[in-house]
């Protein structure tokens, strides 16, 4: 297959994702997959899946953006390599960016899906193969933990890194572990921007590495306007798993005698750590803004996005093709190291 053919198939997938968002009956296979996915993973909702479909179709499967992205790379004619993708399952279709990179570089994707997000990815790959049957030679799904590959891209947590190293450390690899995102506020933010920040915090219930889990604020910062803006997302308290997480975190903060603000469906507490539990937002005060930015850049190993610095408000969960996780250019990895 030519690269143009591969990209054209992805554009057709984008059309199907968009069509489903506006008419659930437009693609029976996709609709069935969505319904199954929300049954098999209690953290998946139709709203969140629609949001992911929108982000993928608008930011990645747009013809102009795709052409601009792929034109940055010289992709030689060569025999395809087997590239393993070990996918995470914290939010819907989180594997997709790695997947399009592997196929766009004209390699074979050997994918081990997470048990938490298996139905949707398999449906997506089936749709692509139905559009272009030849893709069956480029998409291989495996259940094996240790499979044959020429290189691997693995996403997990700090506990799975040891397994990745033991089983795939001898071949070219990208291993990703826990990261989170933060936001910098200075007190001048408008209500509109703070409402956009709600999306950065609460999209996918805050389960993604691109979700903001901590705020950096100046001394004497007034949280009133922020708390008011957050009410935009109050409906998430009706989701049982999230509500249970909120109740648990509130009890834990109470028992440990931590000072916190209870905002009905989320909790705000001062903490120097970056990784906060679901429903809890940490904050930390800063004195010098430029010093803070430099420090956060130096701590990039743990931070995916810095909202209001390298990512605009409301955009943390809308990565484009050139927004590589962990700032590792996967296309360069595929083209230069193999």
**Ordered DSSP codes for 151-202:** EEEEE--TTTHHHHHHHHTTSSEEEE---EEEEE--S---HHHHHHHHHHHH
Residues 6+ apart with CB under 8 A from 175: 154, 156, 161, 164, 165, 168
Structural domain boundaries, residue 261:
180-307
Confidence band for 25, pLDDT divided at 50, 70 and 90: confident
Q: Is 328 inside any structural domain?
A: no
Q: Is 236 inside any structural domain?
A: yes
pTM to 2 decimal places: 0.94
Give residue 337's pLDDT.
66
Widest Cα–Cα separation across the chain: 63
Residue 70 has pLDDT above 90, yes or no: yes
pLDDT tens figures, 305-335: 999 998 999 999 999 999 999 999 999 999 9
pLDDT tens figures, 163-179: 999 999 999 999 998 89
Q: What is the CATH number of the domain that holds 303?
A: 3.40.309.10
From residue 30, give the alpha-carbon distance in Å to each of 14, 34, 292: 12, 6, 45
Confidence band for 93, pLDDT divided at 50, 70 and 90: very high
The answer to whether residues 172 and 200 belong to one domain is no
The answer to whether residues 19 and 164 belong to one domain is yes
Residue 338 has pLDDT above 90, yes or no: no
End-to-end CA distance of the chain: 20
The answer to whether residues 146 and 226 belong to one domain is no
């Amino acid at each position: 297959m030519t690269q143009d053919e591969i990209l054209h198939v992805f554009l057709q997938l984008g059309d199907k994702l968009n069509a489903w968002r506006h008419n659930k009956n437009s693609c029976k296979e996709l609709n069935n997959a969505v319904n199954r996915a929300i049954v098999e993973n209690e953290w998946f909702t139709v709203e969140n899946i629609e949001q992911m479909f929108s982000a993928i179709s608008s930011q990645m499967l747009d013809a102009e953006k795709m052409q601009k992205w792929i034109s940055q790379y010289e992709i030689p004619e060569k025999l395809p390599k087997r590239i393993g993708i070990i996918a995470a399952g914290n939010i819907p279709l989180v594997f997709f960016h790695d997947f399009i990179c592997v196929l766009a570089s004209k390699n074979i994707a050997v994918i081990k899906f997470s048990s938490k997000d298996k139905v949707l990815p398999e449906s997506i790959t089936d749709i692509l193969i139905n559009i272009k049957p030849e893709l069956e030679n480029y998409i291989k799904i495996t259940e094996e933990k240790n499979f044959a590959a020429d290189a691997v891209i693995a996403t997990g947590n700090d506990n799975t890194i040891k397994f990745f190293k033991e089983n795939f450390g001898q071949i070219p690899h990208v291993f990703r572990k826990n990261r989170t995102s933060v936001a910098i506020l200075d007190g001048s933010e408008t209500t509109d921007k703070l409402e956009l920040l709600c999306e950065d915090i609460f999209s996918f219930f805050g389960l993604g590495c691109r979700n903001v889990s901590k705020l950096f604020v100046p001394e004497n910062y007034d949280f009133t306007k922020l708390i008011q803006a957050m009410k935009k997302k109050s409906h998430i308290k009706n989701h049982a798993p999230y509500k249970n997480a909120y109740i648990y975190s509130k009890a834990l903060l109470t028992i440990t005698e931590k000072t916190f603000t209870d905002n009905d469906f989320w909790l705000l507490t001062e903490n120097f750590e970056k990784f906060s539990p679901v429903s809890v937002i940490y904050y930390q005060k800063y004195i010098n803004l430029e010093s803070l930015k430099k420090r956060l850049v130096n701590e990039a190993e743990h931070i995916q996005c810095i909202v209001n610095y390298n990512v605009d408000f409301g955009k943390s969960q809308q990565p484009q093709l050139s927004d590589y996780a962990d700032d590792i250019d996967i296309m360069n990895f595929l083209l230069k190291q193999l």
